[in-house]
Chain A
Amino acid sequence: MRTERGRERAGWYLVPAGALLCVVVLFPMVYVGWLSLERWSLLEGPARWIGLDNYLRVASDGRFWNALGNTVYFTVVSVLAELALGLAIALLLHRQGRGRALLYGVVLLPWAVPTAVSARMWEWMYNTEIGVINYLIGVEVNWLGSPGWAMHAAIAMDVWKSTPFVALLLIAGLQGIPGDLYRAAAVDGARGAMVLRTITLPLLAPVMLVAVVFRAIDAFRVFDTIYVLTGGGPADSTETLSIYVYRTLFHSLEFGYGSALAVVTLGCAALLTMAYVRLLTWRTQ
């Protein structure tokens, strides 16, 4: 009886937060879904219901497929690189004795700088004429201006920025592995690579998966890095879904079609998340 009343009351406590979420999350999402079924350009008269036509247009829009390909490439390459580097840094820092706090701070620095600021910084570093990167390696590579390099230049910046986040998560994970296991392994005569393969990596796997989920979802919506570095060029070679959606909505002012693109992007991100969650629950079972 008491608990039932308590539960009822608890339900009421949720109303303000729930209402807020409805207003700022649910309503805009449903509204965008609705807009995606309309033909509506801000500059061209009233909105008109056109059913799924916008989605058919997405399917045949080469620029969309290019952006999707770029986004997937950016996500896969940057997340894999961040995982590998983050793991290496975590293993190194985990062993480090003195000065660890200082090292943590230094490693975290890139993560603390706002993305737009670091992107502007990297834009200067990549500059062909006066950039420090060309100066240091003594070459004259057009990093942001050649279609072969531009995407990788953007990925490099993302790796620089986000590896600390992955490293930090993995350090926390390493600290959660009981020391007994390592001592027992030492007694059994296991060394370096074997310990890493049979103890550290399997026990770290759930944390690694969490890191990958967070990073992948983040990388999939990449916007500011690209917007500042290249604006999507050259020749759309760095245009990601977020950039394309932004251009369609806020430059071309095509609210109907832009909404359809946004819904498709959201759908892709949702699929990605669902796949990870499945994987995560499957692992813990």
Chain B
Amino acid sequence: MVVADESTPRPEAVLTRDARARRRLLLGAVAAPLAACSPSGRPVGAPVTLVFKHAKLFGDPAPLRTLLDAFERSNPGIRVRDETLPASSDAQHQFYAINLQARSPAFDVFAADVIWVAGFAQAGWLRDLSELLPDHERAALFAGPMRAVTHRQRPYAFPWYVDAGLLYFRSDLLARHGHAPPRTWSGLVRAAQAVCAREPGLRGFVWQGRQYEGLVCNALEYLWSNGGQVFDDGRVVLDSEANRTALSFMVDLVHRYRVSPGSVTTATEEPSRHLFGQGRALFMRNWPYAWTTFADPASRVHGAVGISVLPHFPGGRSTAALGGWQLAVNAYSRAPDAAMRLVAWLGSVPAQKSLALAYGFQPSRVALYDDADLLAAQPALATLREVFATARPRPVMPRYVRVSQVLQTEFSAALSRVRPVALALASAQRGIERVVADAH
């Protein structure tokens, strides 16, 4: 169950036992040469034990352990203990903030949600990772995550795996009624209205409209795909014509075009996925994790689902909200050099490949999207590459969580028609200006 307030849902690798076993074999094949060709064979002085903290993995923990074992073998003197936290992003945020605030050295490397990095870096809790990310390395990674981990021109985390919003559609129903996957938002509305008129009980378009972090991701995708923004060069520019048009469209999906059911205003990722997975919706906005569940032959919509980048407004460009997890080094770690090595290892091409095979993690390295093994295991990666290339981080700033609270309230107010769109945006503009100025 995806917890409601989760900032970025992790891709849940919902693997069948068969697939898992197959992937473990593949992983072994990847890990062995990895150990052999590692450049860092020398010990780092006194033996150290690194603690690697990350969210509980969905699926078998063994593949990750295999990878860490391989790291230990090629780095004599370093041992790695991996410790898991609850899946809820909020719970993890709380854990890290409280421990780092107390300068705890109890963990060395940890997986950070894309929206935490600027704040944690500002607080001085993260080690500068510039030496792991020289220019050629940055160029090898997706641009969106790179922007999200950069604070004051320096990288404070290593993009590990990528997440972004995309459009799921029922390819069978679209074909049956003679529609192509929509490229624009108005095309989506037309297709949804036409198909739903002939398929009784079918919902047009489901997405996440509950008052929580996911709503901000959903709403920003409309704003951005109409050329709108929250900040421009440090100024708050939320209250703009482009944003009013985009947000009005989002509200109209429910109340005017009626292609989205009222239930989207309470939905998080899982309820939307259930509805779509039961074959009761034509379109869905969700993260890549849902794909794995539809790929299961037991799924009711198996073989009848397609994915694409999200639609856009006329003159705008498709833009996905970026999620995903980054590897960060605790500034209070007692073994920073060993920790950096672990980050480099986990972020390397072979490690990302084996994690992608084992858990369905979407790699942050663009080159892996041309990898024949990966493409064979996950053909969807070809489309996801396009999605991630357009993905944009939510405002990268230390006070993002406070900005998001304002946005959640006002987007929800517009969506449930407590306030007209223009008022909600004007009120959000004022609220965010107050947060930025810290004047109350």
Contact = CB atoms under 8 A, between A and B. Distances in A.
Interface of A: 42-45, 57, 60-61, 63, 127-130, 140, 142, 144-147, 228, 230-237, 247, 250-254
A129 B90 contact: no
A146 B211 CA distance: 12
Given A42-B123, A43-B398, A234-B416, A251 B211 contact: no
Contacts, number: 105
B211 A235 contact: yes
B405 A145 contact: no
Nearest to B414: A235
Interface string B135-174: 0000000000000000000000000000000000000000
Given A142-B266, A231-B4, A233-B212, A60 B271 contact: no
Given A128-B266, A233-B210, A60 B415 contact: no
B131 to A, nearest CB: 25
B211 A127 contact: no
Contacts of B398: 43-44
Interface of A is mostly: loop
A235 B418 contact: yes
A211 B262 CA distance: 38
Given A44-B398, A234-B266, 5 more contacts: A42-B97, A127-B263, A129-B280, A228-B4, A234-B412
Interface of B is mostly: helix
A45 B401 CA distance: 17
A236 B90 CA distance: 19
Nearest to B125: A43
Contact of A232 (B211, B263, B275): B211
B211 A233 contact: yes
Given A42-B97, A129-B263, A147-B418, A252 B440 contact: no
Contacts of A236: 211, 409, 412-413
Contact of B415 (A63, A127, A234): A234
B279 interface: no
Nearest to B411: A235
B174 to A, nearest CB: 22
Interface of B: 4-5, 90, 93-94, 97, 101, 119-120, 122-123, 203, 209-212, 261-266, 271, 274-275, 280, 398-399, 401-402, 405, 408-409, 412-413, 415-416, 418-419, 440
Contact of A44 (B4, B5, B123, B263): B123
A265 B101 CA distance: 25
A236 B409 CA distance: 6
B196 to A, nearest CB: 15
A32 to B, nearest CB: 15
Nearest to A134: B263
Nearest to B262: A142
19 contacts: A42-B123, A43-B398, A44-B122, A63-B409, A127-B271, A140-B262, A142-B262, A145-B264, A145-B265, A145-B266, A146-B265, A146-B416, A233-B412, A233-B416, A234-B211, A234-B415, A235-B413, A250-B90, A253-B119
B416 A235 contact: yes
Contacts of B401: 251-253
A237 B408 CA distance: 12
A43 B416 contact: no
Contacts of A43: 97, 119-120, 122-123, 398-399
B263 A128 contact: yes
A186 B94 CA distance: 64
A235 B261 contact: no
B262 A128 contact: yes
B402 to A, nearest CB: 5
Contacts of B123: 42-45
A148 to B, nearest CB: 9
B97 A253 contact: yes
A42 B101 contact: yes
B119 A231 contact: no
Contacts of A129: 203, 261, 263, 271, 275, 280
Nearest to B275: A129
A230 B275 CA distance: 19
Contacts of A144: 266
Contacts of B415: 234-235
A252 B405 contact: yes
B210 A231 contact: yes
A15 to B, nearest CB: 30
Contacts of B209: 145
A135 B363 CA distance: 43
A147 B412 CA distance: 10
Contacts of A234: 210-211, 265-266, 412-413, 415-416, 418
Contacts of A130: 274
A231 B271 CA distance: 15
Contacts of A252: 401-402, 405
A63 B409 CA distance: 10
A252 B398 CA distance: 10
A144 B209 CA distance: 12
A265 B327 CA distance: 38
Contacts of B119: 43, 253
A235 B412 contact: yes
A57 B211 contact: no
Contact of B263 (A45, A145, A250, A251): A145
Nearest to B268: A231
A50 B97 CA distance: 23
A231 B416 CA distance: 15
B386 to A, nearest CB: 31
Nearest to A57: B440
A128 B261 contact: yes
Nearest to B203: A129
Contacts of B275: 129
A232 B280 CA distance: 28
Nearest to B406: A63
Contacts of B266: 127-128, 142, 144-145, 230, 234
Nearest to A45: B123
A233 B5 CA distance: 11
A43 B402 CA distance: 12
A145 B262 contact: yes
A251 B113 CA distance: 13
Contacts of A45: 123
Nearest to A142: B262
A251 B90 contact: yes
Q: Considering residues B90, B122, B210, B266, which has the most beta carbons from chain A within 10 angstroms of its beta carbon?
A: B266
Nearest to B122: A43
Given A129-B261, A231-B211, A253-B97, A147 B416 contact: yes
